[in-house]
């Protein structure tokens, strides 16, 4: 039988490939379902699942070089067994080659792909002779192809980043995306100070240190379990949230008595953070899905936020019983391609297409046109996305301002970290800030 770690990794990869799951959620569910598990097996399952997704494009190049069948013609369970074996051969030098091959063959049997075990064995044994991916395209002849292959990113993505950032910085960004992101939490201001939250984490055996940018952020030590499973979470001492996501709320910088609309609020981290900042005001958190709105309400209750209301509504349409021009701050954390989160969600780069950029930019424009109506004269609209495309960030802002001349770009709040800014915009990039990639613009309504 394959080891528990490899079976769990295969289960996660199956859910991601066939069910469209996010890897982190699928992994958390699989680890919980496994019950009592040696911590080393849990750590290996995590590395195998994430590593295989992170390097999948490289692994497929290596496998294709040793296969007489196109990978797209191979059944999904066989591809999963091959990729896990290839990941161990190329990236796990301490694992003996015969062990990596044998484990993949056993895994294929358990995935009900027994008739393909000979194929899996043959392809991986050929790869085991070099334990390396094929040579990279020439940097001089095909610089985009070179970086795409080197960092296991789709070519179209690297092409866009070359045009946007230039070759040197685009390569640094892609390389940073291949690193595992540290887990982070936001201290709940109503329930604890940062020091008290650190003490609670320490009692649970988890080391942490303050974030670089957000006064509410704690960065957890490698190997920390999901925040949901840490003692102190249910008591409302903290909420899982990357530091860059926390910066969006701090960049919005509402007054303590502000009336706030979070128009696309799930999973609710920013809505709860804003309710903590505007402790004398109120937050209406809206999400399209009733289940997600209910989860936001539960989080607010856990965090002791009695000034947050969550409800299900479509923000592209009039929100029932909500007057126009009635909010001091409207945050639109819009649906986007999510390319700023590839360290946490490597599966996103395997799913996104250039067409997604245009489709989601159009949805964002529709949402902006709708929610701007709820900003009072003199109020603030904040457009935020966790992605790395100009079409969804500054170009989106330019198009909005051309259609809504009653708004103008507002400068960042006083004292905001300078190295998290790009002119007057919030901009974080993984290779610059060590956080997820985010963009946000403050748009002041002047009339």
Which residue, among 227, 182, 175, has the nearest Cα to 200 in the 3D structure?
227
CA distances from 371 to 317, 332, 361, 381 (A): 9, 8, 15, 9
Q: Residue 242 is encoded by which pair of tokens?
A: 């990357």
Ranges of H-type helices in 2-152: 4-19, 23-34, 39-54, 56-64, 76-91, 97-110, 117-128, 143-151
What span, in angstroms and rounded, lies between the C-alpha atoms of 405 and 123?
61
Q: Which residue has the tokens 């699942």?
A: 49
Residues 375/209, Cβ–Cβ less than 8 Å: no
According to DSSP, residue 177 is labeled H
What span, in angstroms and rounded, lies between the C-alpha atoms of 128 and 97?
6
Residues 442/330, Cβ–Cβ less than 8 Å: no
Could you tell me the sign of the dihedral formed by the alpha carbons of 46, 49, 51, 53, in that order?
negative
What span, in angstroms and rounded, lies between the C-alpha atoms of 87 and 221?
25
Label residues 338-355 b or e (16+ Cβ within 10 Å = b).
Answer: bbbbbbbbbbbbbebeee
386 is catalytic: yes
Given 264, 272, 336, 386, the catalytic residue: 386
What span, in angstroms and rounded, lies between the C-alpha atoms of 93 and 91?
6
What span, in angstroms and rounded, lies between the C-alpha atoms of 26 and 33?
10
Q: Residue 200 is encoded by which pair of tokens?
A: 């609670």
Residues 346/176, Cβ–Cβ less than 8 Å: no
What span, in angstroms and rounded, lies between the C-alpha atoms of 254 and 270?
12
A 10 A CB-CB count for 235 gives 14
Q: Residue 360 is encoded by which pair of tokens?
A: 């989601």
Backbone angles phi, psi at 276, to 5 degrees: -70, -40
List, by residue number, the catalytic residues: 386
């Amino acid at each position: 039988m394959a080891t528990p770690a490899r079976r769990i990794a295969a289960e996660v990869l199956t859910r991601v490939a066939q069910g469209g799951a996010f890897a982190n959620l699928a992994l958390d569910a699989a680890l919980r379902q496994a019950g009592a598990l040696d911590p080393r097996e849990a750590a290996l399952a995590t590395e195998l699942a994430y590593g295989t997704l992170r390097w999948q494009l490289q692994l497929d190049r290596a496998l294709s070089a040793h296969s007489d069948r196109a990978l797209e013609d191979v059944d999904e369970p066989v591809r999963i067994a091959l990729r896990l074996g290839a990941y161990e051969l190329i990236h796990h030098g301490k694992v003996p080659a015969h062990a990596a091959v044998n484990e993949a063959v056993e895994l294929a049997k358990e995935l009900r792909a027994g008739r393909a075990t000979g194929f899996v064995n043959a392809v991986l044994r050929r790869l085991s002779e070099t334990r390396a991916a094929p040579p990279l395209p020439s940097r001089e002849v095909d610089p985009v192809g070179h970086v795409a292959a080197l960092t296991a990113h789709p070519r179209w993505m690297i092409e866009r980043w070359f045009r946007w950032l230039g070759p040197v910085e685009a390569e640094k960004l892609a390389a940073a995306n291949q690193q595992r992101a540290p887990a982070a939490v936001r201290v709940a201001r109503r329930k604890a100070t940062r020091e008290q939250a650190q003490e609670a984490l320490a009692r649970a055996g988890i080391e942490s240190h303050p974030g670089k940018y957000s006064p509410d952020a704690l960065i957890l030590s490698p190997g920390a379990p999901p925040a949901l499973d840490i003692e102190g979470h249910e008591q409302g001492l903290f909420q899982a949230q990357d530091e860059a996501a926390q910066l969006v709320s701090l960049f919005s910088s509402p007054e303590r008595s502000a009336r706030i609309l979070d128009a696309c609020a799930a999973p609710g981290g920013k809505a709860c953070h804003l309710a903590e900042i505007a402790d004398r005001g109120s937050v209406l958190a809206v999400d399209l899905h009733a289940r997600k709105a209910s989860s936001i309400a539960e989080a607010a209750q856990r965090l002791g936020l009695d000034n947050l209301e969550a409800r299900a509504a479509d923000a592209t349409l009039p929100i029932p019983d909500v007057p126009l021009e009635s909010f001091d701050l409207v945050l639109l954390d819009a649906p986007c391609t999510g390319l700023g989160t590839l360290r946490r969600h490597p599966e996103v780069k395997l799913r996104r297409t250039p067409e997604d950029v245009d489709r989601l930019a159009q949805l964002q424009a529709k949402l902006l046109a709708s929610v701007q109506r709820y900003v009072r004269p003199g109020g603030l609209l904040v457009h935020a996305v966790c992605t790395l495309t100009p079409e969804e960030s500054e170009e989106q802002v330019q198009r909005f301002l051309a259609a809504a001349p009653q708004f103008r770009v507002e400068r960042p709040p006083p004292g905001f970290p300078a190295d998290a800014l790009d002119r007057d915009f919030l901009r974080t990039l993984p290779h610059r800030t060590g956080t997820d990639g985010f963009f946000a613009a403050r748009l002041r309504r002047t009339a």
